[in-house]
Structure 1
């Protein structure tokens, strides 16, 4: 059958096909590199491909009829296994590049023991990744996607022109992120207005982040979902949409860096057999100062997204696709409407 290309894509189903094909191919492209285990970037790129593939399946779900072996849950399960290995790589890289050079000699020795533990765990985790990628479930998942890409099956709504359904696809996710309780961490309601509470003391910020780690981490995941879904349709919108997308990506990045600092501390504490602040005070001070800086960066975005105008603009933007792709699609459809009327 004739494969859909970006040039001739018109419908909801056409764009679903393009997204799934793109991210599936990215996933498969890096499989050999992951199994070779020579370059950590291969693992990173394969994991990105799987996460975006899962996002595409979720974003286009109303139009899709995928094989059971190739659903979002199956992709997510394998992506999480790869994620465990990737987390260890990031942990090792972060310690090596960002923290180790700043530490005094007295804190280098305990860090050497930490690296040995990371390497040991990584070996076991890689064995699990290898058995997964060479296993039956992953093989069936690939077979399912390959078959679907050769002979795609859709639901009836896939025939609808993409501009018609874009707002309906994006507005629910916009609501999800705007209504998230994580926005209220470190904020208060004053005279019916949401307001950020300024905190400058590093220890007070650290305590706040420890107490409210769960909603902030969950908001980070919601920002990631929103980013991935919005990126699927970025070509249908203009500059304002892309700026809003950039802000959401920044939310994910900043909250992720805060979360990573806590993950690092939680990983080190049991290995050091004592509190990080007592055993490695220089590293602890660096982490606290990093959290302070990231918290202030976060509050700038927090204040922006608590603003009524920002929220109204985001809702309004997704309801008005404005790019030339949408306009050209509408022009192509005009004769058809006239002919059938």
Structure 2
């Protein structure tokens, strides 16, 4: 995952509005950086980098919402993130099908090639939506965000109790999702847990300049869980894709999908077992309790 632009010169005593201006400006720059690579054909890397950057920008907008009128900007950034996500999902599925076809027999390779082409056919509509979203982003969202940056006002400290309270709330959401996943470890609960861990990670990154030692320790245990949940989610998406094939595809495509299905199920089971072990470690080592103490 690409890293956000480092923000220098902030401390726990910095005013919250000043920290918000500098961090939001940095997150905005991170979103704008890949724009040039998306002026023509949408590259896989450019779409991915911009999508991650929009997530980080949204996280900052949510954290600093109290410093100014940022709700409208956040909604507009989400529209761009969603449009990027549609294209990104097809890129990932297409790339995976290409890699999978190389490991199959010639008979099934043709079926997977047809499936790949079927996914590529969806790119026209999703790419058109993304172009419209990028136009709205540059013409509306960027000027509005720049305007709002000049209006931010909050004299609280950047590393104060309000900030730690926000992070504790994020951690509590992660804990709740962990409990739900433990009760029903299916694709839906895994996806919700994954989203909460990502949101918590992005919020932590926002306060790294002020709480570096604490944040570094939190990320050290959080990132492996997030990445493992990402691999599990990828397997679930592939299972869903192959499941749709049974109803929509040609006989050759269905045969290729059946051949691949068992492999994906095995990979999914391995990822689920790894997540189960990681969550057991969190429980046995009382990691949540330790993280809570660090955020007091």
The TM-score bracket by the shorter chain reads: 0.7 to 0.9
Q: Secondary structure at the match of 1:6?
A: coil
Within 5 Å, give how 1:197-276 maps onto structure 2. 212-237=186-211, 239=213, 241-273=215-247
What is the RMSD of the two structures over their aligned residues, measured on CA atoms? 2.5
> Structure 1: which 5+ runs fail to align?
188-207, 320-341
Give distance in 1, aligned partners of 2:68 and 2:47: 28
The match for 2:143 is: 143
Within 5 Å, give how 1:59-70 maps onto structure 2. 59-66=63-70, 69-70=72-73
Q: Does 1:47 align with 2:51?
A: yes
The match for 1:32 is: 36
Within 5 Å, give how 1:1-341 maps onto structure 2. 6-7=8-9, 10-37=14-41, 39-66=43-70, 69-70=72-73, 72-97=74-99, 99-135=100-136, 139-149=139-149, 152-155=150-153, 158-165=154-161, 166-180=163-177, 182-186=178-182, 212-237=186-211, 239=213, 241-273=215-247, 279-307=256-284, 309-319=286-296
Give distance in 2, aligned partners of 1:254 and 1:153: 40
Larger radius of gyration: 1
How many residue pairs get aligned? The number is 284
CA contact (8 A) 2:242 2:261 kept: no
Q: TM-score under structure 2 normalisation?
A: 0.86
Give distance in 1, aligned partners of 2:36 and 2:175: 40
Give distance in 1, aligned partners of 2:83 and 2:164: 34
What is the CA distance between 1:277 and its match in structure 2?
Answer: 8.6
The match for 1:203 is: none
> Structure 2: which 5+ runs fail to align?
1-6
CA contact (8 A) 1:241 1:317 kept: no
Evaluate the alpha carbon distance shift between residue 106 and residue 246 of structure 1 in structure 2; reply closer, same or farther with a 3 A threshold.
Answer: farther
CA contact (8 A) 1:20 1:57 kept: yes
Q: TM-score under structure 1 normalisation?
A: 0.75
What is the CA distance between 1:146 and its match in structure 2?
Answer: 2.3
Which structure has more relative contact order (CA 8 Å, sep 6+)? It is 2
CA contact (8 A) 2:79 2:133 kept: no
CA contact (8 A) 1:33 1:42 kept: yes
